[in-house]
Structures are given as C-alpha cells and as structure tokens.
Amino acid sequence: MAAGNSKRKDRTKADGTKADGTSAARTKGDSTKVDRIKVARTKAQRAKGGPSTDGVADRGAVSSRATVVAEQVDDAGPAATTKLKKKVYEEELARLQQELIKLQDWVKAKGLRVVVIFEGRDAAGKGGVIKRITASLNPRICRVVALPAPTEREKGQWYFQRYVAQLPAAGEMVLLDRSWYNRAGVERVMGFCTNQEYREFMRACPEFEQMLIRSGTILIKYWFSVSDEEQERRFQARINDPTKRWKLSPMDLQARSRWVDFSKAKDEMFRHTDIDESPWYVVESDDKRRAHLNTITHLLSKIPYKEVPSQKLKLPPRQKDTGYVRPPMKEQRFIPNVY
C-alpha cells in the first residue's frame, strides 16, 4: 500500500451504508432543527467569547448569522425536509459572498495556492455551488476547470498530467468541476480503464495529493450526495426543460441505470483516498439552498484568512477636450433597438 495508508479511514460501516453511498447517520434524523440550532449557537457563542485564534476576519458574524438561519426552520419537522425561505437564503448568500471576496484577496496577497475538488452524483448540485462561489470573484484569481474527455494524446500521458497543467500558481484558486477522481468513478464503472490502471490510481492518488500538500497547496475535497428520488426529479426537469437539457448527457443516463455500481465505486474510493491529510467532506444536496450555504460556510472555515486593507479608490477627472473631432455616428454599425 502507498505511504500514508496507515492513516486512511474507512468511515462506512458494513451494515450502515445506503444505496447512494452515504452513511447511516443520515437516516437517523441527525439533521433535525434542534441539532442544527445547537450547533449554530455553539459556534456563535465561541465567536463571542473573544477574538478569533485562527486569524479569520468576521468569522463571528458568519457564525452568529448561522443561528438566525437555523431558527428559520419550521417547527413541524426535520430541517432537511423544510424549505429555507428565499429571503433568508439570499441575505445569507450575499453575506457569504462578501466573505469569499475577502478570502480571494487574502489568497492573492499571501500567494496561496488553493485547489477545491467537486465530485459527486450526477445532478447533485456541484455546478450550482460553483456558480454561487464564483459569482462575485475575479476569474483571473478564482477559475473553474471542467475538463472534457481526454484526447488520444492525453490517454497516452501519465494519468495526472493533464490535471497538473491546471493547478494554480501563487495567488490563485482553482475549482475542479470533476477531477482526477474520474478514474475511480465513471472510468471504473463504465469500463474506460483497465483493472491495472484502476489499482494504480488507488495506490498513487493519496501519494499525489500528499505531494501537492507538502508543496504548500491547500487541497479541499467535496462529495455531493443526492437521494435517488431527488436525482430522478432533477433528471426529469432537465428532460422537460429545453434550457436545462444540455446538462443531461447520454453518460448521465447510463450512470442512472448503474446507481448501485456507482455506490460501490464511491465507497471503495473513500476507503482508499479519505485520508487525514486530504479528507473527503460530504455535502447533503437534496436541498439546494442549504447545500450552497453549507458548502460556502465550510470552505471559508477551512482556509484561515484576514481582510486585506485596500487602498481607497478615487475616480480621476475625465481628460479635457483638446478639440478632437470624432467621425460621424452614422458611419458606425449599431445593432437594432428591438427592445
């Protein structure tokens, strides 16, 4: 086994795994309103006890706000079955996006290299979370990478080679919408790699990630879990809506018909690659709004940052007219004013 295998953790009990590969804890009501409020209040109380010890700016404000969000849950039942109010969601999302801007500025100022991996079931909401994260960020600092299927030339390269080319330089964040874990998932289930290639990936992947971390790269991995029923509902919505149909590929349909095979592949992937140095963080994504807020909040908590002082901007006066005569407007081609 690879170096670091002694620290690997098999977090899935033999008798406690659901069909989608999530832990049995999910079926025991662990996301009730009371539990969520207790967790949020505990965070808020810790934040109020004094200044942050990890150098994170405004973390107390984020935690305090989490209490308010938790308390919006209907008293009638578990939080996971109730819809988060749109107003609360939008207010909290706006607040978190302000924090993401501070994180971005800190990454640039300190020359950090950040890689965030988004994996999970098809239609689990990875793209939606990525859109909310990047909405207010500078694409030159935070960029999204979603690689297509490998070319014939890339198939002849070292497996990780095409991903290495996408890694961040100093002062950059890279969000991988799918990643090198394709080999452990779709390639394994659909037969796009040999057994030898699969075994080599499972052996080499933890070593590859440890090498990145030792070099100073911050690596965070998210797995988005969605229930069978919710995935079917989203697939049907894509089939019926022409504006969403592009999201549904033939491979998605095949993956749907091999749900259990993908569950097995996910569990085996976690068994080999969920290690202390680069653990997997599972996002329950049946509720999209909560998934967005929970993921962004967790991401902010994993990278200590401070607000970077910025120079006050002042708009300079417009250049004075020096007598230059511009060409007639009729010589230019304008688009029709249809609206």
Sign of the C-alpha dihedral computed for residues 279, 97, 105 and 178 taken in this order:
positive
Residue 174: CB atoms within 10 A of its CB come to 20
The answer to the question of residue 316 being in a domain is no
Closest CA to 110 of 281, 306, 270, 301: 306
DSSP H helices in the chain: 33-48, 59-70, 86-110, 126-134, 152-155, 161-164, 186-190, 195-214, 228-240, 250-257, 259-273, 288-302
Count of the separate structural domains present in the chain: 1
The answer to the question of residue 313 being in a domain is no
Q: Which residues pair with 268 in a beta bridge?
A: none
CA angle 213, 121, 83 (to 5 degrees): 105
- pLDDT confidence of residue 338: 97
The answer to the question of residue 337 being in a domain is no
The answer to the question of residue 108 being in a domain is yes
In a structure prediction context, what are the per-residue pLDDT tens digits for the chain, which is 339 residues long?
444 444 444 444 444 444 444 444 444 444 444 445 444 545 544 443 433 334 344 444 444 444 444 444 333 334 455 789 999 999 999 999 999 999 999 999 999 999 999 999 999 999 999 999 999 999 999 999 999 999 999 999 999 999 999 999 999 999 999 999 999 999 999 999 999 999 999 999 999 999 999 999 999 999 999 999 999 999 899 989 999 888 888 888 888 889 899 999 999 999 999 999 999 999 999 999 999 999 999 999 999 999 999 889 999 999 998 999 999 999 999 999 999
Helices 228-240 + 250-257 axis angle, to 10:
150
Domain CATH number, residue 65: 3.40.50.300
pTM (2 decimals)?
Answer: 0.76
The answer to the question of residue 322 being in a domain is no
The answer to the question of residue 173 being in a domain is yes
- pLDDT confidence of residue 11: 43
The answer to the question of residue 188 being in a domain is yes
The answer to the question of residue 312 being in a domain is no
- pLDDT confidence of residue 102: 98
Say which residue the tokens 């149909």 belong to.
245
- pLDDT confidence of residue 110: 98
- pLDDT confidence of residue 36: 52
Q: Domain range for residue 233?
A: 5-307
- pLDDT confidence of residue 81: 59
